[in-house]
Structure formats: C-alpha cells, structure tokens
Structure 1
Amino acid sequence: MFIDTAKLFVKSGDGGNGAISFRREKYIPLGGPDGGDGGRGGDVILVVEPQLTTLLDFKYTRKFIAEKGANGAGQKCYGKDGEDLYVKVPMGTVVRDFETNKIMADLSHPGDKYVVCKGGKGGKGNTKFATPTRQAPSFAEPGMPGEERTITLELKLLADVGLLGFPNVGKSTLLSVVSKARPKIANYHFTTIRPNLGVVSVPGIQPFVMADIPGIIEGAAEGVGLGIAFLRHIERTRLLIHVVDISGIEGRDPFEDFLKINEELKKYNVKLWDRPQIIAANKSDMLFDEEVFEDFKKKVSELGFTKVFKISAATNQGLEELMKEAAEMLSHIPVQELEISEEERFVPEDKKFTYTIQELNEDGLKVFFIEGTFVDRLLLAVNVNDPDSLKYFHKVLRNKGILDELKEMGIEDGDTVRLNDFEFEFML
C-alpha cells in the first residue's frame, strides 16, 4: 500500500525537576543545600531512512513522545537526561506544521535530520541558588515542559524524470519496458493508483530514476479525479516526459489532451509548467495515418516544444532514442532543492509569556495578566511564604525585563499583576 501523507502528534520529554535537599550527616547538622539539577527531556528527531518508500508505518502509529528527564536528588546528584526519540521517514519527506500548514523542513538527502520538538530544560537544584546572604535556599526550579505539536508528513518522490499524461496513454507500459519496475498494466483508466519508480539503465547513458505518475485529468488542480493526490510527486522531477496517445483509438485529440494537462500543471504550480518537457507520441504502432503525427508535431512545435518522439511502448519502437535524449537533457539540468518561500516557511512563535490588560472598577485600577510557560515554571519554583524565595521571584521578573515592560504598558502604583492564581500589588 502506498501512503504519501500522514498526520502525527509529537511531544518532546519534560525536563526533570531540580531537587530541594540539605546535607544532613552525623557531626554535620548544617551542611548546606545539596539538591542536584534535573535532567534534560529527550528531543523528537525526524531522520531520513533511505530504505523507506512510503509513510505506511504512520498509518498505525501516530503518536510519538520522547522520554522525560529524571528529577535531581540530594548529594548534588543530577537527574539523567531523557533519551532522544528518532522517527524514521522516507527520503523526500516534507514536514509541515498542522495548524499553520507551513513547511518546517524538507528531508530530501540520506541522513538528513530535523528536531521537530526540543526537550524541556532540566530545573536547577537548590544548590545553585545558594549565595553568601542566602545560604539555605528552600526552593528549586521545576523542569521546563517539553514542546508538543501536530505535524503532517508529505512524501514527494525523488525522481529525475516524471511520466505525465492522461489515464491509459501507456505510461506504465513505458516504465515497465525501460526499467525493471513492474507496475500494474491493464486496458482501463486509472489502472495506476500509486506512483511507481524505476531505474532506467540503457547502454551508453547515465542511469536515472523515472516515476510513473497516476493519470491526471482535466480539473486535477482543483481536486478532480486522482491527479491532485499525485501532482506533488512531479515537483521534484527535473524533466517531464509527456506521454500522449497519438493513435486516438479512444476518440481523443492528442493535441487537446496535451494542452489540458499543461493547463493543470500551470494551475497547480507555474514552475511545473516551465519545466523541460519531452513529448512521447505513444501507440504509434496503431496509427494508420502519418499525417496525424506530423500535424501534432507541427502544433506543439509552434508552442515551443521541439523534442517530439514517435514511440510504441508495446513494440519498443523509438524507446532507446527517447531515453538517450532524456539522459542527455538531464546532464545539463542541475539538481534543485525544493524552494520554500518566506511565506511558506514555519517560524516558531515565542510563547514564553504574553500580556493582557483588564480594566477594573470605578477606581480606575487595572489588572495586568502575565501568562505562558515561563510563568508556570517560575511559580512552581517559588514559595510565596518564604522571604528568600519571594526575593528571587521579584529578581527574576526584573532580570527578564517584565517589570520594565509593564511600566511601558502604563502600569501604576496600586495596579494588580496576576500570574495564573498568584497576584501582587505593583509598587514603583
């Protein structure tokens, strides 16, 4: 079964909590703080596995969660870091953020890796908060939560040449003759319902990979037929071989079919429309009027398509010349990476803290809400009933620039600052 899209939930490991501990041994009753730091949470990493050819594995497993970091302990023992989780994907996988549909990474080379979720940082133990004036801190940092998101994987096959054309024009037969690929072949439309890859190796030319793309019909760019599901696989090809049924045995006009397919390419992606094309006029063994081919060749030449070959995949007529021309053209077409525009590229948002203001009663006082993962972590580290811990809390607000930002937003004496369930009155 060929699966070329998948939706996954991924979550990196939470960081371990820092420990609150004091050294207590015989003859050393006041040994001071000795709480160790928590371990880092594991990352979720996508890595290319060249042996994979589909996203079938993700049909059954759609949730990936990395290991948490261990908590710190007394005697300055540090927690163990969580194991990174490696998720294997096929070469040619495009990773998108599900919410925004923007591209996070293009994994198109062997060994490519992408950290899709970074593990949470481990919290500091109370040992790290000891100072000459605060010799017995009774607080420590909790671990940072790991990142989590839903992503979509989109497989775009890596092939040098893509076979293009309406259903039942002979693309699968052509691929089976020039390579060792064995696609399903039958005399009905949409015989091919999954892309097929084959390596073309003809004496005297450099081997190349060719993809048989399921038939595209008029309206494919808008979702008609099966074509829209497979147009993405043409994006990475450097050269297109446009196969038409020159015999017209189904009552179709090969030139009209040629125009319609190119119009679908243009609608889907203008760069595909501009890609070099060789035209293969197939089923010529069933052509009884040579004027049909000559007329077709004249019409497409007037549009700028000069590479036109009369072939028969069933009888091998003209195939060697066609493959040699494709190899020659490929030798002059550079391999290009998938272009990602700034509008399409995913940029992670910094959601450490956000501010909102709510007007209060007739006294004119305001409440300033501060929210985010940074706030959650800070509050977990603070004991509001401990003076030293409270001093640390205000010091962090000042060092992080939060107090300065509140002043810029117009906070005044007597206004309230609320962080989750904890609030205090602001004083300049």
Structure 2
Amino acid sequence: MYIDKVIINIKSGDGGKGSISFNQDSKNSRGGPDGGNGGKGGSIWIICDKNMSSLNSFRYSKFFNAENGGNGSDQKKTGLNGKDLFIKVPDGTLIRDVKKEKNLIAVITTESEPIELFKGGKGGRGNVAFVTSKNKEPLLAEAGEKGSKYQIELDLRFFSNVCLIGRPNSGKSNIIRNISNAKVEVAEYPFTTKQPVLASISRGFQNIKIAEIPGLVSQKEKNLASGNNYLKHLLRTNTIVMVIDIKNDILNEIRFLLDIINNFNPILSNKNIGLILSKYDSNSKLNISQLSSEIINNFKFLKNKIFLLSKSFDKQTEEFLAFAYNSINSFENNFDSFDLPIISPNKNNDKRVVSDGDSFIIKDKQFVQLAEGSNLNNWKTLIQFQYKLKSSKISKELENIGIKRGDTLKIGEYSFNWEE
C-alpha cells in the first residue's frame, strides 16, 4: 500500500506549574517566597527526510505528543524544559489544519529548514513573581500554559523528473523495468500497477527520477486502483510522458489523456509533454513516418518528442533517456503557486470574559493559569487573587457586560461571588 495522505494528531508539551514556596530556616519559620517557575513544554518540529518517498510510516502511528515541562520547586528552581518532538516527512509534504477548513500551515521541501510547527506551553510563574510592595507573602502561582493540540493532514506530492501516464495495461511498467532496477510487476491484465512506482536512473553523472502512476480511466470507470487518484503528483514533475499502446487509436488516446490532466489542473498542460508509443514491433507494417506526421499535425507540441519503444532496450530507449536527461534542468520542480491554498493565520478572537445568563466566566488564559496554579479554596489566597483581578483590565470588562455584587464568577474549576 502506498500512502500519500494521512491525518495525525499532535500536541506540544504543557508548561510546568509554578511553585508556591517560602524559604524556611532556623531563624525564620516562614521566610520570603522562593517558589520557582515551571519549565517550558516541548515543541513540535517538522523536518524533511530526503530518504522518505511516502507517508507509509504513519500508517499505524497517529498520535504524537511532545514532553511536558517540569514543575518549579523551592529555592527558586525552574522546572526542566520538556523535550521537543521531531516528526520526519518526505520532500513535497503539505501540512494542513483539519479543523480550520484545511488551511495550509506549511510546505516541506528539501530546501526547508526544520519548522517549529507548534511551540510548547510556557512554564507557569512561581510565587516569587507575585511579590509586590503590598503583598510580601504571595500565595499565588501559575499553572503552566497548555500546549497546542491539533489534528493535521499530511498531503504528499512527490517530485520526479519524468512521470509516465497512460491507460491500464499500456506498457508503462515494462518501460520502468527496462530502464531501471525497479522490481515492478508486468502482466497482460489491467491495473497490474495499483500504486505509484518511483525509479532512479544514473545518467551523465546525474540521477533521473522516473515515476509511473497507475492506469488512468474515465470518470465513470474510476476506482481505488486507478491512477486518477494520484494525479496530484504530476504537479511536481518536470516532464509528463504519455504512454499509448501503438495498436490503439492513438489520436483519440492522446486527447483522452490530455483531457484528464487538463480537467484535474490546467497548469499541467503547460508542462513539457512527450509521447511513447509502446509495444512497437519492428516487423510491423505500420507506416511510422506517416503516423508521426499525423500526430504532429494534430499536436504540434509533440514534435521531436515521440518515441517508439518495444519490450526490449534499444536505440529508441536510449533516445528517450536522452530526452529525459535533457529535460531535467529545463523545467522547475517547484510547487505551482495557484495550486496551493492561501495561508490564513489563525487569529484568536476569543472573548476574555463571557456571561452564560446565570453566571460570568473568565476565559483569559493568564488568569485561568493563575487560578489553576493557586489554591483558591484557601481564603487568604482567594483574597490575593481577587485583589489582582480588581487591579486588572478584566475587572472593567466584567463590569461592561453587567456583573454586579453577589453575582457568581467562574474561572477554571473555581466559582465565587463578585465583590465590589
């Protein structure tokens, strides 16, 4: 099975919790605060592995979590940072956010530097950070910032110098087997090739990457084994070569193949396109000169790009390989700009305070962390928390949405009455 698209679940690490601690010694049973900060959570990184050619490694691995940061401790000790997680993907992988209308997040190619896809959560501050002139013994600390949790789609478009396309049983696999060491199945029945085949050929101190996608069929005949499911890979090939059985109606077959690729994406019609007439027998009574002239009269772009290949390696095969070699540097292998969706940054428009009718809820991330990192069931801690809340802009926002004395205020797992 060849996998070129997969959905995985990833999560960057949570930040560690800040510590509530006081320095104690023989002279002072409760000295000054010395609670340290939590460590940073591990980030999720994506790196390109040029040795990968598919997403098969993700077939059974769907969940990836970076390490959480360690908690802070006494003597102002900061928790350990969580280890980053590195996910390897092949060249040509598009990464999309599944839950955000499949917005494009990143495009990974061999030229890409490692990308920090999602940062780990920041460590929560210990009680040392909350010392003020009015509060010498803070009982407040922050929980670590939560890591980012996403479901992403990995969508591969592999690169090739030449990609062979054609009807089922048109002779594509036999060509690949003749010109490379690739072990491909060849048989006299349709859909022998059920997944893309990638082969590499050394030529003139360079490697030519030649690919074959399974047989193309009409929309009515389309099935899971047809090459129509792999047309996206043509977007990153230098040269498209149509392979047609010489015994078929060649002009109609050319029109059929051109219609398929043009309907998939019109930009493919602008690529370098060649033609192989396969299963040619030198003893055939076909007038090759007349046939070639007829093809060129109808499709002028095929001039000097028509090759007659038999089941064995011969002079015409050499000419085809020379054509493939010469086209390596003639066409760019970059992603075509209008094939890619527009990258839309995720804007955080969440309200910091809301009302559900019966109560008011604080959703501000910083205050939620402070509540989760402190024990608001302790009345002294609650007083300090309320004082900090009243001194912030959140208080004004609550008043603007109608909070009054005695109303229930919720934050995280805690709820208490609002005091003016």
SS in 2 for 1:289: coil
Structure 1 residues 1-38: Cα deviation after superposition (integer angstroms, max 9, x where no partner) = 42222221111111110000001111133420000000
Does the C-alpha gap of structure 1 residues 424 and 295 become closer, same or farther in structure 2, counting only changes over 3 Å?
A: farther
| Conserved 8 A contact 1:37-1:78 | yes
1:159 to 2:160 alignment: yes
More displaced stretch, 208-217 vs 281-290 = 281-290
The number of equivalent residue pairs is 409
AA at the equivalent of 1:92? G
Indicate the residue corresponding to 2:286 in structure 1: 289
* SS of the residue 1:83 aligns to: coil
Checking the alignment, whether the CA contact within 8 Å between 2:19 and 2:71 is kept in structure 1 is: yes
Q: Is the 1:50–1:110 contact (alpha carbons within 8 Å) kept by the matching residues of 2?
A: no
Q: Which amino acid aligns with 1:183?
A: V
Residue deviations 1:367-400 (CA, integer Å, cap 9, x gap): 66543645532432456533332222233x41xx
- 1:363 — aligned with what? none
> Which residue identity is paired with 1:268?
F
Which one of the candidate residues 316, 319, 329 is aligned to 1:321? Answer: 319
Structure-2 residue corresponding to 1:311: 308
2:97 paired residue number: 97
Taking a change above 3 Å as real, the CA distance of residues 412 and 356 of structure 1, as seen in their structure-2 partners, is closer
Contact 1:198 1:209 in 2 (8 A): yes
Write the distance in 2 (CA, Å) between the matches of 1:69 and 1:233. Answer: 40
> TM-score, normalised on structure 2?
0.86
Tell me the TM-score normalised to structure 1 length. Answer: 0.85
Equivalences for 1:28-39 in 2 at 5 Å?
Answer: 28-39=28-39
Check the 8 A contact 1:178/1:201 in 2, yes or no: no
Please tell me whether the aligned partners of residues 296 and 302 of structure 2 are also in contact (alpha carbons under 8 angstroms): no
2:372 to 366, 369, 380: 380
SS at match of 2:236: coil
Identify which of 273, 280, 285 aligns with 2:276: 280
Contact in 2 for aligned 1:168/1:188 (Cα 8 Å): yes
How is 1:385-404 mapped onto 2 (pairs within 5 angstroms)?
A: 385-386=379-380, 387-395=383-391, 397-398=392-393, 402=394
User: For the structure 1 residues 300 and 52, does the alpha-carbon distance in structure 2 shift closer, same or farther, using more than 3 Å as the test?
Assistant: same
Contact kept, 8 Å, 1:38 with 1:143, in 2: the verdict is yes
Alpha-carbon distance change, 258 to 423 in structure 1, aligned in 2, over 3 angstroms: farther
What is the alpha-carbon distance in structure 1 between the residues aligned to residue 76 and residue 375 of structure 2?
21
1:414 deviates by: 3.6
Structural RMSD (CA): 3.0
Runs of 4+ in 1 over 6 A off after TM superposition: 220-224
Q: Which stretches in structure 2 are left out of the alignment for 5+ residues?
A: none
Q: 1:92–1:158: 8 Å Cα contact kept in structure 2?
A: yes
Greater CA drift, 160-169 or 317-326: 317-326
Shift of 1:114: 2.7
Amino acid across the alignment from 1:162: C
Say which SS state the counterpart of residue 176 (structure 1) adopts: helix
Aligned residue number for residue 63 of structure 1: 63
Q: CA contact under 8 A between 1:24 and 1:30: conserved in structure 2?
A: yes
- 1:44 and 2:44 correspond: yes
